[in-house]
Amino acid sequence: MSPNTWPAEAIWEQVYPLLPDFTVEVLPEVDSTNSELMRRARAGQHEPTLLVAERQTAGRGRMGRVWQSQPGDSLTFSLSLPMAPKDWSGLSLAVGVSLAESLHPQVGLKWPNDLWVQERKLGGILVEAASMGGRSQVVIGVGLNIRPRPADGLNTAPAALTEWRPGITAAETLGLLAAPLIRTLLHFEQTGFAPLQARFEARDVLKGRRVHTSDGARGTSLGVSTSGALRLQTDAGVLDIHSSEVSVRPFSAEDKP
């Protein structure tokens, strides 16, 4: 895939009225788009930047998992924005809502930061933040499977967007996602997650299911709170689980109602 096929100019034209100093970059290869933008943020570069990699050699997912990408097989990009919301809670959920709504009606959200379709992972979100000299910069990384991938030791192969949108390319997918995501983030900065709660729950794949967390809590998911916490009904009562403290492990067949 040539960088010329990416809709960089079209995305810039959509975003420019919102962020006049916004830039779009496409790199043929990088270790990780998130790592690259975090390095720039720590070096004092605060301009809003959308960075796309045709190939990642050391992409990072949640809990340090490796996400590698090959040209055309997946879409990997990161967005760096200066942000100062009153409450950061629920940011990754807000990102998920925007992405899912832009992709397909069947795309669901698995708390706190995964996109799922029919019990299979379609993509993931990684949110990082840097603070220098009193300024906060958030870097949001997104990885999506575009073409089918092998199971690679998993019980089932991951989901791929072309299963539901045949023929769509990584470049076309980026064109669908970028501007709506930036609008969602600017709205989140002003209002927080609460206005997005119902939209998240409309796609919540965990609600009503038995789940267990990485710290051993078990119970039934009641959905998410207005701050984006996972509400878990346990034998000891209702617990609010925050993404900074725990992660939800993949549910199994016996967890289905």
> What is the tens place of the pLDDT at every residue in 119-170?
899 999 999 988 776 778 999 999 999 999 877 776 788 999 999 999 999 9
* Res. 251: pLDDT tops 50: no
DSSP 249: P
Confidence of residue 216 (pLDDT cuts 50, 70, 90): confident
Mean pLDDT of the chain: 87
Active site residues: 62, 121, 249
Pairing assessment for the beta strands 49-53 and 23-27 based on DSSP bridges? parallel
3-191: CATH, from 3.40.50.2300, 3.40.50.720, 3.30.930.10, 3.90.180.10: 3.30.930.10
Q: Give the pLDDT score at 4.
A: 46
Which of these CATH numbers, 3.30.365.10, 2.40.50.140, 2.30.30.100, 2.60.40.10, describes 210-255? 2.30.30.100
* Amino acid (one-letter) located at 179: A
Residue 100: pLDDT above 90? yes
Omega before residue 28 within 30° of 0, cis: no
For the chain, which residues make up each domain, given as ranges?
3-191, 210-255
- Give the separation between CA 18 and CA 1, rounded to whole angstroms: 29
